[in-house]
Amino acid sequence: MSRVGTPEPDPSVIGNIPKPPFVRLPDPVRLFAVRAERFRWLADGHPLAPYLNFLADLSAAQSAIQEGLPEPEPVSDDVLARAREHKMPPLDRGSVAVDPAFAAAFERLIAAAEGMEMPDAARAALARIKATEPAAREIMIGNVLAEAIPVEAIAEHVFVAAALQVHFARLAARLDAKALQDIGDGVCPACGGAPSASLVEDWQGAGGVRFCACSLCATEWNYVRARCTLCGSTKSVKFQEVEGGGGTVKAETCDECRGYVKVLYRQKAARLDPIADDVATLGLDLLVKELGFRRGAVNPFMVGY
């Protein structure tokens, strides 16, 4: 596994296109259904096939459990106004543990997961989650939201993270996209989450435009190309890829902050998914880490790699 020649700056000429929206909000049911299909397609012949198929089943469950879920508590006008005034994300992470809508999503996901095929270790982790007291569950929720999942308890946190993704995608879908604003490099304007990857889009009105994809709520927000996703530097951003990768997935590396985030080029492969294809391109992570860069993106399904 090696780099292809010397890394060169990523082309950023977009051409004559209409100004794209700043934010694209998720469609929660479709989001996870499409992701499940992508995981399953990626699993065919892949060295990580068992794990990718497990995540395909989990994504399918994330989509299926949403029918009939209680409506999440809407964000009040006061909270929206305060968030806009202080340039803060409007979705409150602190209220998740006591939200009935999240509790219902969590219980449904755990019930759905019981019918999935999984390794014995994952099955044992699922049993431990079912047996946890509310206080212990709140700690796990906090770990996921703080992007600080302990390595020794990855399996349990995968299920918690999946439930949180459902809940926050449903919350984000109910926001007014036009009311959201830029709140900083590498920070989701809806929930404050970190990106799992960035996407060079191909949809009408945004062909060639880059969007960061939130690892938690799946909101996509417009971000300038050839600029570090993590620190905003434009001085020494380069793009690395695995030899023979076809240019569909690259690692955007920054010599200023020594971090990297993957870029997925949907103009070349429209089905690329910021969570699924991130997991499936683990080899690129290994390559870039050998070059001395730290992973700056967040993906709860890649903790420990």
Task: Report whether 60 contacts 36 (CB < 8 A).
Answer: yes
Helix (H) or strand (E) holding 143: helix 134-145
CA distance 266 to 252: 16
3-state DSSP assignment of residue 58: helix
3-class SS of residue 13: coil
CB 246 within 8 A of CB 56: no
The structure's pTM equals 0.91
Q: Which residues of 137-157 are buried (b: 16+ CB within 10 A; e: fewer)?
A: beebbebbbeeebeeebbbbb
pLDDT (tens place) for every residue of the chain, 305 residues total: 444 434 444 443 344 456 788 999 999 999 999 999 999 999 999 999 999 999 999 999 999 999 999 999 888 889 899 999 999 999 988 888 888 999 999 999 999 999 999 999 999 999 999 999 989 999 999 999 998 999 889 999 999 999 999 999 999 999 999 999 999 999 999 999 999 999 998 876 667 899 999 999 999 999 988 899 999 999 889 999 998 878 999 999 999 999 999 999 999 999 999 999 999 999 999 999 999 999 999 999 998 77
Structural domains in the chain plus CATH codes: 27-176 (3.90.1670.10), 179-295 (3.90.1670.10)
The Cα angle at residue 112 between residues 58 and 38, in degrees rounded to 5: 20
